[in-house]
């Protein structure tokens, strides 16, 4: 059976800028300098454990990586509330309602930790569309994107065939993971002015700016 699998950050919720601000504040406190744009390209879409090791240039225990991760994510969640960024990307709620009404299988595959997932479910009332206990998040048991594991498990958790997944992603690393998962369709969600960059990956069926795009509803016609 087909399933619609969504990354969350930058895909359903436009928070990339807030994550970058949180990362820069955290990184500066940790190593005394900020990251370049090129360095940030290696952060988006990966687990915090891998990112912490990349920042410090050393292997970390799960306990140490989790401690650092929580510090960074606490900064991020404070920014979300402070900036009152409490709306999903335009068209998301209508599209998820549409899929639900069509009785389509849906799930989230996010590298966010559980504490952020809890935050999102409460803030956005995600239980309107998703079963919390089926969502795949970073619990340390799966290989980070661009490995396909997050997506494959998300499909399996809702009883779907991973080969029939329709995946929505925003980061190049995430898109590579979707491709590695051999998804049936891969749809990129543009962030800022990176529309052409995402198309240039050669990994996507098409790119959308938001969820008002008509083509994402026409997917149901492709049987």
Q: Which domains does the chain have, with CATH numbers?
A: 1-13+86-217 (3.40.50.1000), 14-81 (1.10.150.240)
Residues 6+ apart with CB under 8 A from 29: none
What is the structure's pLDDT at 115?
94
8 Å CB contact between 2 and 161: yes
Cα–Cα distance between 4 and 103 in angstroms, integer? Answer: 11
Summarize the confidence of residues 57-76 as an average pLDDT.
93
What integer best gives the mean pLDDT of the chain?
Answer: 93
Nearest to 83 by CA among 22, 40, 6: 22
**pTM to 2 decimals?**
0.88
148-178 pLDDT, tens per residue? Answer: 999 999 999 999 999 999 999 998 899 999 9
């Amino acid at each position: 059976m087909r399933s619609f699998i969504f990354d969350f950050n930058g895909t359903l919720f436009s928070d990339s800028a807030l994550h970058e601000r949180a990362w820069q504040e955290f990184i500066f406190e940790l190593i005394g300098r900020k990251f370049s744009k090129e360095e940030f390209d290696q952060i988006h879409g990966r687990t915090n454990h891998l990112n912490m090791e990349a920042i410090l240039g050393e292997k970390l225990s799960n306990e140490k990586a989790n401690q650092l991760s929580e510090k960074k994510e606490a900064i991020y969640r404070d920014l979300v509330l402070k900036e009152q960024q409490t709306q999903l990307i335009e068209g998301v709620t209508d599209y998820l309602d549409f899929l639900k009404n069509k009785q389509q299988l849906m799930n989230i595959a996010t590298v966010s930790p559980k504490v952020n997932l809890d935050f999102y479910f409460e803030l956005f009332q995600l239980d309107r569309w998703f079963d919390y206990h089926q969502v795949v998040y970073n619990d340390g048991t799966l290989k980070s994107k661009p490995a396909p594991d997050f997506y494959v498990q998300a499909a399996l958790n809702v009883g779907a065939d991973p080969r029939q997944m329709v995946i929505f992603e925003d980061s190049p690393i995430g898109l590579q993971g979707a491709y590695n998962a051999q998804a049936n369709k891969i749809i990129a969600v543009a962030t800022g002015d990176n529309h052409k960059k995402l198309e240039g990956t050669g990994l996507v069926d098409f790119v959308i700016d938001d969820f008002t795009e008509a083509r994402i509803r026409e997917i149901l016609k492709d049987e």
